[in-house]
Amino acid sequence: MEGRSLPHSPQSPMRENGKLLLVTTFLMLLIISPSIASWDGIIIGQADYQGLQAFKHSLSDPRGVLRSWNGTGVGACSGAWAGIKCARGQVIAIQLPWRGLGGTLTESVGQLAALRKLSLHDNAIGGQVPSALGFLPSLRGLYLFNNRLSGAIPPSLGRCLSLQALDFSNNFLTGSIPSSITNSTRRLYRLNLSYNNLSGGIPDSIARAPAIAFLSLAHNNLSGTIPGSLGRLSMLRTLDLSGNSITGSVPESLDGLRNLSVLSLNDNLLGGGIPASIGNLSRLSRLDLSDNELRGEVPASLVRLSNLTFFNVSNNNLSGPVPALLSRRFNSSSFRGNILLCGFSPSAPCPSPPPPPSPSPNLPPSPIRRRRGLGTRDIILIAAGITLALLLLLCCVLLCCVVRKRTAASKQQTKAAGGGGGGGAVGRGEKPGTAVGEATVESGGDAGGKLVHFDGPFLFTADDLLCATAEIMGKSTYGTVYKATLEDGNQVAVKRLREKIAKGQREFETEVNALGKIRHPNLLALRAYYLGPKGEKLLVFDYMPKGSLAAFLHARGPDTPIDWPTRMNIAMGTARGLHYLHNDMNMIHGNLTSANVLLDDTTNARISDYGLSRLMTAAANSNVIATAGALGYRAPELSKLKKASTKTDVYSLGVIVLELLTGKSPGESMSGVDLPQWVASIVKEEWTNEVFDLELMRDAAGTTGDELLNTLKLALHCVDPSPAARPEVQQVLQQLEEIKPELAGGGAAAASTSEEATAAAAGPSTATE
């Protein structure tokens, strides 16, 4: 416990020293207050101790993972027992996936009265699922997939009022799915019973789980029909019933599944027609109906499914022409094995004149299709024409942008408050000003609290978050940052705000809800936040595996040079992100450092920590200004004024550009002067080439040399001691783009797909000027 000292510099990457890594969960952090110096004081209760002993006894443990479960249990709740998490002396989680465990699960698990999560997936555990699990009132997550469990699913599980996730997939379970399974749970959101030997029908009662988002019963021996009541599950995103012996027809009512994105009914015995109502599932991205006995035509309504990326109706008994739009989007392997189906490939032409099945204009043998030899050339010509048109459009757009920026630059002091979108250029990924839908609020797990999601690629519950494995990444003035690994293996970055520095709850929520709507390719997106019952605050961001610019530049090996275009791209990205904050969000960063510039998979800059000052009290913020100064990014006037401005942000940006040029960290000692002073003194002595990172000088002949010099000039302009002399970020961005036009405007990248070109085109039209 004593070794648990945390580093205090925001820059120190914990990863460097394996010994410092602290793996824990947020639940432990929240429930066991950090003010308690040692966890050893909390002794496990007798019932839980005996429950764990019995649990260990019934398992086999060839790798000795459970050897730490020894002695009198003093260490059980202090982190000494592998895989055990406690709260107030009671076991709340057992997490032992991939541990080579065998044997069976004991009914004594029922003694762990506070258990919330049992995660034993990917072991070799056999025997039956203990029915005592159904008597654990707090059980939220039951992850027993990829084991050797057999016997039936205990009907008692229907009593688990709090159950959110149940995954028994890939075992040897038999018998039928108990109709009680969704009896009382209002919160179940994931039910996966796939890859077992379950038989019987799909219980109608599943429709009683209103929150269910993922339902997979695939690859069992289920029979009977699909209950029409399933159409009531409006939160459902995935429905997978493939690989069973389900009969009857596809219910019309499935069009009630408004959020459905995956529908897999393939490999069953379904008959009847494909209901036209499937065309109403506007979010559908994957539709697999292959290997059934479906009859009739492919409904024309399916062409409305604009998000569809996978479609398969092969090996059925379908007939008639395939709607032209579908046959254009999907190749013949999506349609084969339907003897009477036609129009999906040149080798299966429809008899002409085609039977007029519907008045829709989907006449299958379209002209492009019929003249195939010449068609290819036509298509190329058409595509070239479209590309040219898009490029021209893009040029106009960029020109407009530049002109607009020039105009704007002349009246740079008058900023439209928070208005307008897409002022800057568009890069890969997130589009500026992209509207984020309504935030979804979930009451947060065990101890009360509240989880609010904005958007983002991952779905998790408050308990998923609280039980996520948390590995400390760094500590800053506002709090500690963790890399959190969710049960499904996805990772997010979680910032736990320090206590007593944030504003009161209502003000905090107003501000954080505004922050959660900000989206720009060069800004780290806030995806969710959690408010604990005692005022604890967690902010959830995208996880950036490449880490910070500071680490990227200063903590790399000698054999990993960073070339000039990469550095320039980072500088431009940072300038773009800052420009969006200043001009579109009317927001000062206040603490821009290379540790706060993160790098995504493609080494694009993503500014983090923006807007956090709005969540904090004034006292906390003046503290940040004080510490930021110590890092060498603080504009000189801050020592007197104590108020950040766009000009102090530009100063910090200038330091970052100097850092990119020189390869030196502003934290390094340079005989008593800071980085800007050091660079300025060398430039004054006309030893300018000495300031550049040696790596950059290797290929500095010709144009690169000029680019380096011009960028250096610009950076020195940004770090001018007089705030009035510094440019606005708009000018910095513009000059960077003039210095390296091939990286400007994300132009090359944006032109590569029409979608992004359209997004770029949408920029100026929504701008306020």
Q: How far is the CB of 123 from ligand NAG (least distance, A)?
A: 13
Q: What string marks each residue from 668 to 707 as x (binds ligand NAG by CB under 6 A) or -?
A: ----------------------------------------
> 197, 440, 703, 753: which one contacts ligand NAG (CB under 6 A)?
197
By CB under 6 A, residue 216 contacts ligand NAG: yes
By CB under 6 A, residue 119 contacts ligand NAG: no
By CB under 6 A, residue 49 contacts ligand NAG: no
Q: How far is the CB of 48 from ligand NAG (least distance, A)?
A: 18
Stretch of 290-298, 349-357, 646-654, 701-709 lying at the interface with ligand NAG (CB under 6 A)? 290-298
Residue from 120, 215, 213 nearest 171 by CA: 120
By CB under 6 A, residue 128 contacts ligand NAG: no
Stretch of 193-201, 251-259, 403-411, 732-740 lying at the interface with ligand NAG (CB under 6 A)? 193-201
Q: How many residues bind ligand NAG (CB under 6 A)?
A: 28
Secondary structure element (H or E) that encloses residue 649, with its range: helix 646-662
Residue from 80, 73, 7 nearest 481 by CA: 7
Which CB, 48 or 649, lies closer to ligand NAG?
Answer: 48
Which CB, 221 or 247, lies closer to ligand NAG?
Answer: 221
What letter would DSSP give residue 201? P
What is the Cα–Cα distance from 429 to 464, expressed in whole angstroms?
27
Q: How far is the CB of 240 from ligand NAG (least distance, A)?
A: 6
What 402-411 contacts at long range (C-beta under 8 Å, 24+ apart), as own/partner pairs, is 402/734, 404/764, 404/767, 404/769, 405/730, 405/734, 406/734, 407/769, 408/583, 408/730, 408/769, 409/728, 409/730, 409/731, 409/734
What is the Cα–Cα distance from 308 to 121, expressed in whole angstroms?
32
By CB under 6 A, residue 71 contacts ligand NAG: yes
The answer to whether the beta carbons of residues 71 and 94 sit under 8 Å apart is: no
Cβ-proximal residues to 587 (8 Å cutoff; 6+ apart), any chain: 581, 610, 611, 614
- Angle formed at CA 698 by CA 692 and CA 700, multiple of 5 degrees: 70
Three-state DSSP string of 528-583: EEEECCCCCEEEEEECCCCCEHHHHHHCCCCCCCCCHHHHHHHHHHHHHHHHHHHH
Site for ligand NAG in 314-343 (CB under 6 A): 314-315, 317, 331, 333-334
Q: What string marks each residue from 133 to 152 as x (binds ligand NAG by CB under 6 A) or -?
A: ------------x-------
Helical H segments across 259-371, by residue range: 324-329, 367-370
By CB under 6 A, residue 192 contacts ligand NAG: yes
> 11, 106, 170, 704: which one contacts ligand NAG (CB under 6 A)?
170
Stretch of 27-35, 167-175, 499-507, 698-706 lying at the interface with ligand NAG (CB under 6 A)? 167-175
By CB under 6 A, residue 376 contacts ligand NAG: no
Number of other residues whose CB lies within 10 A of the CB of residue 428: 16
> 119, 176, 238, 548: which one contacts ligand NAG (CB under 6 A)?
238
Q: How far is the CB of 539 from ligand NAG (least distance, A)?
A: 27
Q: How far is the CB of 266 from ligand NAG (least distance, A)?
A: 6
Identity of the residue numbered 180: S
Which CB, 343 or 420, lies closer to ligand NAG?
Answer: 343
Q: How far is the CB of 162 from ligand NAG (least distance, A)?
A: 19
The answer to whether the beta carbons of residues 157 and 182 sit under 8 Å apart is: no
Burial annotation 684-712 (CB, 10 A radius, 16+ → b, else e): eeeeeeebbbebbeeebeeebeebbbebb
Q: How far is the CB of 378 from ligand NAG (least distance, A)?
A: 20
Identity of the residue numbered 340: L
Per CB under 6 A, residues contacting ligand NAG are 67-68, 70-71, 145, 169-170, 172, 190, 192, 194-195, 197, 214, 216, 221, 238, 240, 290-291, 293, 312, 314-315, 317, 331, 333-334
